[in-house]
Amino acid sequence: MPDTNSKILSMQGIFKAFPGVQALENVDFDLRRGEIHALVGENGAGKSTLVKIITGVERLDAGSVTLDGKPIQVKSPQHAQDLGISTVYQEINLCDNLSVAENILIGREPRKFGRIDWRAMEEKARQILQRLDVEIDVTKDLGEYSIAVQQMAAIARALDISDAKILILDEPTSSLDVHETEQLFEVMRKLKSEGLGIIFITHFIDQIYEVTDRITILRNGNLVGTHETSTLPRLELIAKMIGRAMGDFNDMVQIKLTSGKQREGTPLLQANGLGRAGSMLPFDLDLYAGEVVGLAGLLGSGRTETAQLLFGIDKPDSGTLSMAGAELKNFSPADAINKGIAFCPEDRKADGIVDELTVRENIILAIQSNKGWAKRLTKQEQYEIADKFIKMLNISTPSADQTVKNLSGGNQQKVILARWLATNPQVLILDEPTRGIDIGAKAEIQKLVLELAEEGRACIFISSELDEVLRTSHRIVVLRDQQKVTEFSDEVDEQTIMQTMAGSE
């Protein structure tokens, strides 16, 4: 049996900054032999940066790292592999058109008389997979197998690259079903019993408690704490991840949700059994004119996936979606805009603003796209639209011709809202509309959302800040592990929602 008290990896006082961002600040982390250690935290917590330092993708600014008690400076991913540190990422980086054996041993193929010894390579691949209790035809192309088998091949390759001491699994279950996930867990337990240290990055709370020994929680680049999994209640874990003290809940005032006043007639948007394999389990959702429905859940719970299904970005493989009682078929984002549905994405940098365009040009993008580029808005029409929404949303800019990248984060977010409001939508889907902006701008956007509902529009409001969801929503849908758990349309408080997000103790 491995000595589970022996630290294989120790990181002390880790600092890492990028331009304008302190990604990690005085973070400690250690990994024992023969343990599965969960690394958790919401977006921006610092998980990816910490892993990049361990694997040599990034260099630390300050702090120390020891492996087997010896100080190390990991210079590159190849150096990390040479040291026995292997990583399997969420996106499997293998070649579908090569055989399983080739994928596992590529670059390290056995040779005979200067040529690849195919028989020896296939036998070695079988032996490596047998260590994982996986028996498959290694001569078949990897692409012929399921994602679960491809992942096992990736793990086999990672273990064979070097004398692996540490295995990092980054969201390995995101595309697996329940049976495949349990198979992976069996492999993880087997490797643990052999003395391997495993860092397990996941957003699935149930899986953390099923398979891990310890949990390290990061938030905003800082270490919140490291705990034995068996001693940390689920509710407390979530409270630490999102930064709410348990004592705060006693002072919470219950908020009366008044959705009953809005829910009349036919839903504006209705999902029945809508789902997508590996993304979101089938769910029902009715959205009525004049109401704001909040989606509450941790990162990975299915909030963004739900929004993308409702806007047509992702194609469902089950269920139906209807607008004002009429079923929508072969639905796309262009169809959504034509039907009066707008979507403000979570990542305003990657999916929202166009940095090099002006405020005016950013605001008119959606309405111009809807009209078609053959029917261009005149400059006068563009300025009229832009000036209207600059005034309406109180966008702080010298003029409509200011380059949008020069605005603050809050004002950039308002520009994206203006773009979609200009299309006069009946349904507005807002994914983290207040992330990364100041308190004043947050309050303005929350007020605007409620005003839009009063005008008879329907809004879906997604936020990782529960108090914000409570403050803004008439009805709250709780998601966990890519499924709708329940919804609240009566009195509810933050603690009740958090308990629902955490699941059973």
Between residues 173 and 478, the one the model is more confident about: 478
Task: Give 410 or 190, the one with higher predicted confidence.
Answer: 190
Tell me the H-state helices in 317-364.
Answer: 333-339, 359-363
User: What is the average pLDDT across 258-262?
Assistant: 47
Residue 377 pLDDT greater than 90, yes or no? no
pLDDT the model gives residue 322 = 93
The proportion of the chain whose per-residue pLDDT surpasses 70, expressed as a percent, equals 89
**pLDDT value of position 337:** 85
Q: Which of 254-263, 388-397, 424-433, 455-464 has the lowest mean pLDDT?
A: 254-263
H-helix or E-strand containing 169?
strand 166-170
| E strand or H helix at 453 | helix 439-454
**Token representation of residue 484:** 């709708």
> What is the pairing mode between strands 292-296 and 280-287?
unpaired
Which has more pLDDT, 70 or 334?
A: 70
What pLDDT score does 153 carry?
A: 85
* Residues contacting 373, CB < 8 A, separation 6+: none
- The full DSSP string for 185-224 is HHHHHHHHHTT-EEEEE-S-HHHHHHH-SEEEEEETTEEE
The more confident residue out of 379 and 235 is: 379
Locate 257 and state its tokens.
Answer: 């949700």
Task: Decide which of 264 and 452 is more confident.
Answer: 452
β-strand pairing of 427-431 with 222-228: unpaired
pLDDT of residue 7: 92
Which pLDDT band, with edges at 50, 70 and 90, does 309 fall under?
very high
Residue 256 pLDDT grade (very low, low, confident, very high; cuts 50, 70, 90) = very low
Question: Where is 467: in which H helix or E strand?
Answer: helix 466-472
> Is the pLDDT reported for residue 395 higher than 90?
no
Question: In this predicted structure, which of 174-183, 313-322, 394-403, 483-492 has the lowest mean pLDDT?
Answer: 174-183
What is the Cα–Cα distance from 355 to 345, expressed in whole angstroms? Answer: 16
| HSE of 140, CA atoms in CB hemisphere, 13 A | 11
* Spatial distance between the Cα atoms of 44 and 479, rounded to a whole number of angstroms: 21
Q: Does residue 167 carry a pLDDT above 80? A: yes
> In this predicted structure, what is the pLDDT of residue 252?
34
pTM, full prediction: 0.62
pLDDT top residue among 142 and 247: 142
Query: Average model confidence (pLDDT) for the chain?
Result: 84
Do residues 124 and 110 make contact, with C-beta atoms less than 8 angstroms apart? yes
Return the CATH fold of 248-340+426-505: Rossmann fold (3.40.50)
pLDDT of residue 223: 96
pLDDT greater than 80 at residue 29: yes
The mean pLDDT of 199-213, rounded to a whole number, is 89
The sign of the CA dihedral 405, 409, 412, 416 is positive
Q: Which is nearest to 293 in space by CA: 501, 478, 502?
A: 478
Mean pLDDT is highest, among 178-187, 340-349, 468-477, for 468-477
Q: Which pLDDT band holds residue 43 (cuts at 50, 70, 90)?
A: low
Mean predicted confidence (pLDDT) in 351-360: 83
**Burial class of residue 227 in the structure, from the number of CB atoms within 10 Å of its CB (0-12 exposed, 13-18 middle, 19+ buried):** middle
- Decide which of 25 and 414 is more confident: 25
User: What's the confidence (pLDDT) of residue 258?
Assistant: 46
- Residue 474 pLDDT > 80, yes or no? yes
- Can you give the pLDDT at residue 308? 93
Distance of CA 446 to the CA centre of its chain: 23
Write down the domain spans for the chain. 7-247, 248-340+426-505, 346-424
Give the model's pLDDT for residue 210: 92
Per-residue pLDDT at 34 exceeds 90: yes
pLDDT at 158: 80
Proportion of the chain above pLDDT 90, given as a percent? 35
| Closest among 142, 140, 228, 129 to 183, alpha carbons compared | 129
| pLDDT > 60? residue 247 | no
Confidence of residue 417 (pLDDT cuts 50, 70, 90): confident
Contact 87, 50 (CB under 8 A): no
Q: Is 5 exposed, middle or buried (0-12, 13-18, 19+ CB in 10 A)?
A: exposed
For residue 350, the model assigns a pLDDT of: 59
| pLDDT, average across residues 454-479 | 88
Q: In degrees rounded to 5, what are phi and psi of residue 455?
A: -75, -5
Residue position matching structure tokens 């429905």: 293
Residue 330 φ/ψ region, left for φ over 0, alpha for ψ in the -120 to 50 degree band, beta for the rest = left
Better-predicted residue by pLDDT, 96 or 193: 193
User: Taking CA 285 as the corner, what is the angle to CA 281 and CA 287, rounded to the nearest 5 degrees?
Assistant: 150
pLDDT for residue 41: 86
- Using N-to-C axis directions, what is the helix angle for 147-161 and 118-131, rounded to 10°? 100
**pLDDT number for residue 293:** 93
Residue 437 has pLDDT above 70, yes or no: no
**Radius of gyration (C-alpha) of the chain in whole angstroms:** 25
> Residue 261: pLDDT above 70?
no
Average pLDDT over residues 35-46: 86
| pLDDT at residue 477, rounded to an integer | 95
Residue range 7-247, CATH number: 3.40.50.300
pLDDT at 193: 92
Domain 7-247 and domain 248-340+426-505, same fold? Reply is yes
